[in-house]
C-alpha cells in the first residue's frame, strides 16, 4: 500500500515538472478590429477608459482563438484636452478579457480616431477642437507581441 502511494506521489511530482500543454496563441501581427461600446470625445483626458468588443472572430491555424464579442479594454492615449493642444485623439488597446481573466496586450501603436463628421470634399478629416465619436466606431489594431491564451 505504501509503495502504491509513493508511486502515485512520484508520478504527480513528475507531471508537475512537465512543460504545460501548448496553450492557444494569437501570433504577433494579427489584426484586431474592435467596436467602441461608449462614446468618446476629442477632449477626453488621456487615460480615459475605452471599453470595446471584438467585431470578428480571430483565427490562427484554422481555429477560432478569440470569438466575436470578446471584450477588450483600451484607453485614450492623446487628445485635444486643451484648446491650444495640437495633439489628436488616439486610442490604444491594453487588455483582453477571456474566461473571466484579464490578459494584458501590446499593440503596434495607438489608433488615430479622426473626425468623420467633418471632411473636405476629398475625404480628408478636418479636426476641430471638440468632436464626439459615437458608440460603435470601428478601431483597427495590430498585435505587437503574441497573445498567449
For residue 111, tell me if it sits in a domain: yes
For residue 4, tell me if it sits in a domain: no
Which residue has 467596436 as its cell numbers? Answer: 35
For the chain, give the mean pLDDT. Answer: 83
Q: What is the biggest distance separating any 2 CA atoms in the chain, rounded to whole angstroms?
A: 85
**What is the DSSP code string of the chain?**
-HHHHHHHHHHHHHHHTSPPPPPPEEPTT-EEEEEESS-EETTPPTT-EEEEEESS-EEETTEEEE-TT-EEEEEEEE---STT-----EEEEEEEEETTEEEE--BSSPEE---TTSB-TT--B---SS-EE-TT-EEEEEBSS-EE-
For residue 53, tell me if it sits in a domain: yes
For residue 30, tell me if it sits in a domain: yes
Residue range 30-54, pLDDT digits in tens? 999 999 999 999 889 999 999 999 9
Alpha carbons within 13 angstroms on the beta-carbon side of residue 65 total 18
For residue 13, tell me if it sits in a domain: no
Residue range 48-76, pLDDT digits in tens? 999 999 999 999 989 999 999 999 999 99
CATH number of the structural domain spanning residue 86:
2.40.128.260
Structural domain including 133 reads: 23-148
For residue 87, tell me if it sits in a domain: yes
Q: How many domains does the chain have?
A: 1
For residue 3, tell me if it sits in a domain: no
For residue 142, tell me if it sits in a domain: yes
Sign of CA dihedral 101, 107, 110, 113: negative
Alpha carbons within 13 angstroms on the beta-carbon side of residue 38 total 14
Provide, rounded to the nearest whole percent, the portion of the chain with pLDDT above 90. 59
| Residues 77, 110: Cα–Cα separation, whole Å | 7
Q: What is the pTM of this model?
A: 0.76
Amino acid at each position: 500500500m505504501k509503495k502504491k502511494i509513493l508511486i502515485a506521489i512520484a508520478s504527480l511530482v513528475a507531471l508537475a515538472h512537465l512543460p504545460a500543454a501548448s496553450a492557444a496563441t494569437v501570433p504577433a501581427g494579427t489584426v484586431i478590429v474592435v467596436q467602441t461600446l461608449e462614446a468618446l470625445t476629442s477632449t477626453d483626458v488621456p487615460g480615459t477608459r475605452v471599453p470595446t468588443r471584438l467585431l470578428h472572430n480571430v483565427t490562427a491555424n484554422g481555429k477560432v482563438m478569440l470569438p466575436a464579442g470578446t471584450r477588450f479594454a483600451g484607453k485614450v492615449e492623446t487628445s485635444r484636452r486643451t484648446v491650444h493642444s495640437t495633439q489628436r485623439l488616439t486610442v490604444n488597446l491594453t487588455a483582453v478579457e477571456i474566461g473571466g481573466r484579464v490578459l494584458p496586450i501590446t499593440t503596434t501603436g495607438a489608433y488615430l480616431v479622426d473626425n468623420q463628421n467633418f471632411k473636405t470634399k476629398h475625404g480628408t478629416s478636418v479636426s476641430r477642437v471638440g468632436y464626439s465619436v459615437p458608440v460603435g466606431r470601428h478601431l483597427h489594431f495590430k498585435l505587437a507581441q503574441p497573445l498567449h491564451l
